Amino acid sequence: MSLTTSPQTRLPDGAGHVLVELRDDIAILTFDRAEKRNAISDALADGLRAFFDAPPKSVRAVVVIGAGGHFSAGLDLGEQSRREPADVMKHSRRWHQLMDTIQFGGLPVVAAMSGSVIGGGLEIAASCHVRVAEPSVRFQLPEGKRGIFVGGGATVRIGRILGPDRMTEMMLTGRVYDAAEGYRLGLAHYLVGEGEGLDKAIALARDIASNASLVNYLVIHSIARIDDMSRSDGLYAESLSAALSQTGPDALEGLRAFLEKRKPNFS
């Protein structure tokens, strides 16, 4: 496949602390607040929202990475002022909407993680579908030690990865997991050498992008929702997903490619 690289551009409209680079059908999003260990400001969150609300039509998979050796140190507490309960709830719900947009926007998202993957940064990573960790990674949910509770979806996404018991311990103690420990627990799917995270993430994104786009969409949407369903409802939803995937032109191309012993060329 040819490699077409576009200059990095910033979204939205020159703000947002998010750089976007297009490489053929892959978009690389870079958190660009290295001086703050890529702490998530409202502007950075708005930049992510702007991309995932309206990604370029040519993009089939996304890689997310942080500049300066850190994925993200979490919510930018320097921006936080005293808020009324209703304001905190609305801010939390905005984070939930953003994480849902990343997870259920329809594009497979691969996180290339290094350094700090903390608090809100871990919540963003958990909303990504595939996670690659370099040896420098440190996973932490320090909110309990700062007098606050998580608000970006950690209890649902991270709690389901770790289980509620381990997440409770992680928040009560402020425990830090390194890359190898996080890998064993499911916080990362791949371990790579230092400085190898982006290349691995791009390779995975390219491989995923070569899948049938409908199947990628169904995998992203159906599996997470089936996990919320009863056994019988989940099996029914699985049958619906199978029916959608096995009756279109991509299914015919997959069968033809198998019989012809070649790689399929999905639309």
* Residues annotated catalytic, as ranges: 123, 143
Phi, psi of 70 (to 5 degrees): -130, 140
- Do strands 18-23 and 26-31 pair parallel, antiparallel, or not at all (unpaired)? antiparallel
The per-residue DSSP string of 216-253 comes to HHHHHHHHHHHTTS-HHHHHHHHHHHHHHHTSSHHHHH
19-47: b (≥16 Cβ within 10 Å) or e: bbebbbbbbbbbbbbeebbbbbbeebbbb
Assigned token pair, 253 = 């191309």
Q: Would you say how long the chain is, in residues?
A: 267
Which among 224, 253, 249 is positioned nearest to 238, based on CA atoms?
224
**Inter-CA distances, 119 with 193, 194, 230, Å:** 24, 22, 31
Which among 154, 130, 134, 131 is positioned nearest to 142, based on CA atoms?
154
